[in-house]
Amino acid sequence: MGFQVLQLQPAQMIAAIGAQDLPIDSVAGLPLHPLVVHAAVVLVPLAAAGLLAMTIWPRFSRRFSPLILVIAGLGVLAAFAAMLSGEQLADEIGMRNQQHFEFGEQVPWVALAQFVFAGGLAWWDRQRSQRGVFGIILAIVCALVAIGAVVGSILAGHSGAELVWG
């Protein structure tokens, strides 16, 4: 009794699973939007938590800002992918919730602002041993942007969950 190994070429594998008929906005037959939304819902608030820590502790900022910037950058990409795939999904199924649509359009831009301000604060903290007045003001603005990113993610996510689950 042995196992038979199938040796298929990539094109044959795609044909076997029927993937050639899948639209570009899906992965293995699942709509792309629910998949990338979960990435955005994790990465944007996680970057916000890191940015808040950067605003409180300049030493943390100097040490961990590269990691926070990577997380924030991935959050921006996931948020834009969620927005674009959500628009496409809404058009395909003919369902558009205005509140979710508005919140979903704002999150990528707030995530982008969070990325830019995190980069600014990281640069500032690496250039100076003390923040000074401008550094403190920058840190306060960063904290407000981080809070806005979390609030925006929650509002978009909650309205999306209500749309799907009622």
Work out the mean pLDDT of the chain and round it to a whole number: 84
Amino acid at 132: G
Tokens of 86: 């959500």
Question: What is d(CA 120, CA 1) in angstroms, rounded to the nearest whole number?
Answer: 64
- Identify which has the larger pLDDT, 9 or 91: 91
82-124: per-residue pLDDT in tens? 998 888 877 777 776 678 888 889 999 999 999 999 999 999 9
Q: How is residue 25 annotated by DSSP?
A: T
Asked if 37 and 157 touch (Cβ cutoff 8 Å), the reply is yes
154-164: per-residue pLDDT in tens? 999 988 888 87
Q: In 3-state terms, what secondary structure has residue 31?
A: strand
Tokens of 33: 């939007």
CATH topology of domain 31-165: Four Helix Bundle (Hemerythrin (Met), subunit A) (1.20.120)
What integer is the mean pLDDT of 68-86?
95
Q: pTM score, two decimals?
A: 0.81
Backbone angles phi, psi at 26, to 5 degrees: -140, 160
